[in-house]
Amino acid sequence: MEPIYEGLINKNNQFAYQFTVYKLTINHLPEILFVQEQVIFELEEKEFLQPLTSDEFKYILNGNGFMLGIFINGMLIAFRALLVPPIDDEQHLGLDLGLKDQELKKVIYQEISSVLPEYRGNQLQKTLAALIMQELSKEKHPYRYICCTVAPFNIPSLKDKFAQGMEIIGLKKKYEGILRYIFVKDLENVDTPLWQEVAIIEMNDITAQQSKLAEGWRGYHMEIRDDILWIHYGRK
């Protein structure tokens, strides 16, 4: 198994460790599930994470996307996944984007990303995000839209998506009625958006955000001001 990337990180901000990034296979499934279990155990807000089942991980690892993992001394400490969603899924995020049925094959999901708690603070999510998109770009693929969902107030995940240039195009209940932001990035549109109008809305004002999104506005930035989370919305 050829390494994709190597670097150094800290554990609990004390010691430096060398890490290596590999593409994961079905043989890594037990380790993947272990990391996910540890992350869920440490979460204060369990609803922030929509965990994947063993079958869902198998679906990805058996050719419907791919996963990258970070290893230290042979132990998996973090992973990130891209998922090719089933076209017949009624919850398909391409439908939220307004795509027609024949265009849904152009959508791939940025799926779950997990880092063992003791290795947080090393920007591993950011590292894996860059590497997984780099690996995708090496392949001949039909994908134009990268989509994902994030829970409101899940600050690390929201920062991760905005840092990648993704934009909010929806805020609605998904996955058995759980409220989620819907993010998208158009790989064919590399220009920085020039917003003609801008509005800044408190994250807890769900109705105001949904109204803007229904009018074609997009969320493109998050800030914390006066201990309040704000989302910046723009319209071209």
CATH class of this structure's domain 5-190: alpha beta
Residues of the chain with CATH 3.40.630.30: 5-190
- Asked whether residue 145 carries a pLDDT value surpassing 80, the answer given is yes
Range list of β-strands (E), 73-189: 75-83, 107-115, 145-150, 167-174, 178-186
Q: Which whole-number Å values give the CA distances from 30 to 27, 52, 58, 216, in the listed order?
A: 8, 13, 11, 43
Rounded mean pLDDT of 128-148? 94
Averaged confidence pLDDT in the chain: 92
Rounded mean pLDDT of 175-187? 91
Taking each helix axis from N to C end, the angle separating 155-163 and 124-137, rounded to the nearest 10 degrees, works out to 40
20-74 confidence digits (pLDDT tens): 999 999 999 999 999 999 998 887 776 667 789 999 999 999 999 999 999 999 9
Whole-prediction pTM value? 0.91
> What whole-number distance in Å separates Cα of residue 35 and Cα of residue 79?
8
Rounded mean pLDDT of 91-118? 93
Q: What is the pLDDT of residue 16?
A: 82
Rounded mean pLDDT of 132-147? 93
